[in-house]
Amino acid sequence: TKSVTLKNVTKTFHDDNNNLVHAVSDVNLTIEQGEFATLLGPSGCGKTTTLRMVAGFEEVTQGDIYFGSENVNKISPNKRDCTMVFQSYALFPHLSVFDNVAYGLKIKKLPKDVIEEKVDKIFSIMNLTDHKTRMPSQLSGGQQQRVALARALVMEPGVLLFDEPLSNLDAKLRLLMRDEIRRLQKRLGITAIYVTHDQSEAMSMSDKVIVMNNGKIEQVGSPQEIYQRPTSRFVADFIGTANFIQGKVLGRKENELEIQTADTILRAAAYGDFFEGQSVLIVVRPEAVRLKDEGEGSLKGKVTKSVFMGQTQEYEVDYNGVPLQVTVHNPMGEKIYEVDETVSLHFPKESLHIIKG
Ligand code: ADP
Ligand code: MG
C-alpha cells in the first residue's frame, strides 16, 4: 500500500472551439498510506480528471504525481501500482465471474494455483463463492458491481481508485455497498481515492474529504471538520444544509469573536484570521438552532413551514426577513410549532462557525 502525492498538478484541455479549459488547476494533495480519501464536488469540477491522472490515463499538463517517493509521471497506467473501479462495471460478458476476476492475474502470468488461491480468497471475503461459475448477465447490478470490486481487489494494488462506482445502484444497495467497500478497504489496508458528487457518500466513507470546485481544492479535512468548520460559503453550502447570518466583527475576547448581527451580538470560537469591522457570515446548521416559546428569549422568528418527517420536524423560520432552516430531532414529546406561530430563536455558541463573507 502506498501514499499518493500531487504537487502543483494542472490539467488543461482544448474544447471543441479550441479554447483552453482548466479542468484541474494547481492541485496539491497528499493521501496517506491506508487512507480512504474522497474527491467531492459538483459535476465538472475536475474529480474524474484528477483520478485519471493518478491512474495514468491522462498525462499531467504541469506538476508531479508520486506513489510513495516515486514520481510516476512517466509510468504507464498498467505499470502503476493501482487499479480503478468504474461506474459502469465493465465486466467481460463472455467470461464467467471467476474468469473476470482472474483476468488481471492471468495477464500477469501468475501460476494457475496461485491465481485460484487469490481469487478464492477474495470470493470468500466478499461472499461471492456461490456465484463464481455464473456469467455476468446472470447477476443483478449490485452483484456485478461486487464482482468488479473483487476484480480490482484481487490485484492487491497499492492504490485503489473509484470513480462514482455506486451511481448505477438503487438507493438501498448503495448504502450496503458503501459499508462493504469501506470494510474491505480497511481490512486490506489499501490506500483508496474515491470520487463522488454525493456528499453523504463522502461523509460516511472517508477518512479525508477533498472538496473541489472549478478545478481547485476548496478544503481538505475529516468529514467532521468539513461539516463543522467549513472555510468557505461554497463548502458550507455543498455539505449538508447551512444557514448564513450576516454580521460584522465587533471584537475578540480570548478565543472568541463577538459578532454584531442585525438584532443581537453572537459569540463564537474563531478559526482563522479575522479583523475588527470585517464582514462575516455565521454558519448555523439546521440542527444547531433551538426553538422555544415566544418570550423565552430575545430573538424572534415566525414559523413559515413546519413539516413532520418522522425522525425529525423540519421548520422554516423567518428571521429578520431571512428564511432559516431548522431541524428538531425526535418530535415525540418535543413541542411542535405550527405555521404563523412566533417563536424565540437560540443559537448555542459552540455550534456557530464564522467564515469570511
Ligand atoms: P467531474 O468528474 O468532476 O464531473 P471532469 O474531470 O470530468 O469533472 O471534467 C472537468 C472539466 O474538464 C469539465 O469542464 C470537462 O468538460 C473538462 N474535460 C474533461 N475531459 C475533457 C476532455 N477529454 N476534453 C475536453 N475537456 C474535458
Ligand atoms: Mg466525473
Take atom 7 of ligand 1 and give the residue whose Cα is closest. 48
Nearest CA to ligand 1 atom 1: 44
Lowest mean pLDDT among 78-87, 207-216, 234-243: 78-87
User: Cα(183)–Cα(143) distance, rounded to whole angstroms?
Assistant: 17
From residue 144, give the alpha-carbon distance in Å to each of 134, 148, 168, 291: 11, 6, 11, 48
pLDDT at 270: 81
Using pLDDT thresholds of 50, 70 and 90, give the confidence band for residue 1. Answer: confident
Residue whose CA is at the smallest distance from ligand 1 atom 20: 49
Q: Give the DSSP H/E element, type plus range, for residue 102.
A: helix 97-107
Evaluate: CB of 48 within 6 angstroms of ligand 1.
Answer: yes
Helix (H) or strand (E) holding 179: helix 171-188
Probe ligand 1: pick from 9, 20, 39, 49, max atoms within 8 Å of CB? 49
**Hey, which of 6, 21, 39 would you mutate to test ligand 1's pocket, going by the most ligand atoms within 8 Å of its Cβ?**
21
ipTM above 0.85, yes or no: yes
pLDDT at 283: 95
- Cα of 263 from ligand 2 centre, angstroms: 44
**β partners of residue 248:** 260, 279
Ligand 1 closest atom vs CA 11: 12
Is the CB of 39 within 6 Å of ligand 1? Answer: no
Which residue has its alpha carbon closest to ligand 1 atom 21?
Answer: 13
With residues binned 3-state (H G I as helix, E B as strand, rest as coil), the percentages for the chain, rounded to 5, are 30, 35, 35
Paired residues of 284 in beta bridges: 243, 352
Q: Give residue 23 CA to ligand 1 midpoint distance, Å.
A: 6
Give the pLDDT band (50/70/90) at residue 222.
very high
54: CA distance to ligand 2 center in Å?
Answer: 14
- pLDDT over 90 (residue 224): yes
How far, in Å, is the centroid of ligand 2 from the Cα of 175?
A: 20
Ligand 1 in reach of 21 Cβ (< 6 A)? yes
Which residue has its alpha carbon closest to ligand 1 atom 22?
Answer: 13
Verify whether ligand 1 is closer than 6 Å to residue 13 (CB atom): yes
Atom of ligand 1 nearest to the CA of 49: 6
Mean pLDDT rounded to a whole number for the chain = 94
Which ligand minimizes its atom distance to the CA of 57? 1
Ligand 1 in reach of 19 Cβ (< 6 A) = no
State the distance from the centre of ligand 1 to the C-alpha of 225, rounded, in angstroms. 28
In the chain, which residues fall in CATH 2.40.50.140? 241-356
- Give me the CATH topology for the region 241-356: OB fold (Dihydrolipoamide Acetyltransferase, E2P) (2.40.50)
> What pLDDT does residue 173 have?
85
Homologous superfamily, domain 4-233: P-loop containing nucleotide triphosphate hydrolases (3.40.50.300)
Contact 357, 281 (CB under 8 A): yes
Is any atom of ligand 1 closer than 6 Å to the C-beta of 45?
Answer: yes
Residue 89: what pLDDT?
74
Q: In the predicted model, what is the mean pLDDT of residues 105-121?
A: 94
The CA-based angle 224-218-10, given to 5 degrees, is 135
> Which ligand 1 atom is nearest residue 164's CA?
2
Question: 196 forms bridges with which residues in the sheet?
Answer: 40
Instruction: Look at residue 126 in the predicted model and tell me its pLDDT.
Output: 84
* Residue 86 confidence class, pLDDT cut points 50, 70, 90: confident
Q: Is the CB of 31 under 6 A from ligand 1?
A: no
- pLDDT over 80 at 249, yes or no: yes
User: Could you identify the atom of ligand 1 that is nearest to the CA of residue 43?
Assistant: 4
Which of 27-36, 243-252, 297-306, 325-334 shows the lowest per-residue confidence on average (mean pLDDT)?
A: 325-334
Closest protein CA for atom 14 of ligand 1: 44
% of the chain beyond a pLDDT of 70:
100
* 58: pLDDT strictly greater than 90: yes
Please report which confidence band the pLDDT of residue 218 belongs to, taking 50, 70 and 90 as the band edges.
very high
Residue 131: pLDDT band with limits 50, 70, 90: very high
- As annotated, the residues of the chain forming the CATH 3.40.50.300 domain(s) are 4-233
Enter the DSSP assignment of 150. Answer: H
